């Protein structure tokens, strides 16, 4: 259920959900962390220092799939800011 909700938030693109989604980057379940990162890639902004800081901290995640999702998210945000 959480995974679907995170996917939906990313698709909706509501920037107001960035802070609660960013909090899930430290969730105990790696798939939740991965989906949170991917959602932030869709809704995050280069102007949102809190989201960027959370993603940068998540670059050290112990799960390689979560780290990959974080890199994707950071790249998506960077590309939108150009």
- What is the CATH number for 45? 1.25.10.10
Residue 1 has pLDDT above 80, yes or no: no
In three-state secondary structure terms, 82 is: coil
Average pLDDT over residues 65-72: 98
Strand ranges (E), 1-80: none
Backbone angles phi, psi at 4, to 5 degrees: -65, -40
Name which residue leads in pLDDT, 48 or 2.
48
pLDDT at 56 over 80: yes
What does the pLDDT average to over 59-82?
96
**Mean pLDDT of the chain, nearest integer:** 93
Averaged over 19-43, what is the pLDDT? 95
Average pLDDT over residues 64-81: 96
Residue 21's domain comprises: 2-80
DSSP state of 29: S
Please count the structural domains in the chain: 1
């Amino acid at each position: 259920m959480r995974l679907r909700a995170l996917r939906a938030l990313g698709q909706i693109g509501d920037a107001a959900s960035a802070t609660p989604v960013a909090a899930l980057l430290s969730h105990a379940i790696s798939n939740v962390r991965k989906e949170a990162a991917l959602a932030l890639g869709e809704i995050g902004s280069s102007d949102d220092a809190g989201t960027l800081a959370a993603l940068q901290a998540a670059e050290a995640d112990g799960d390689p799939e979560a780290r990959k999702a974080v890199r994707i998210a950071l790249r998506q945000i960077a590309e939108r800011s150009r």
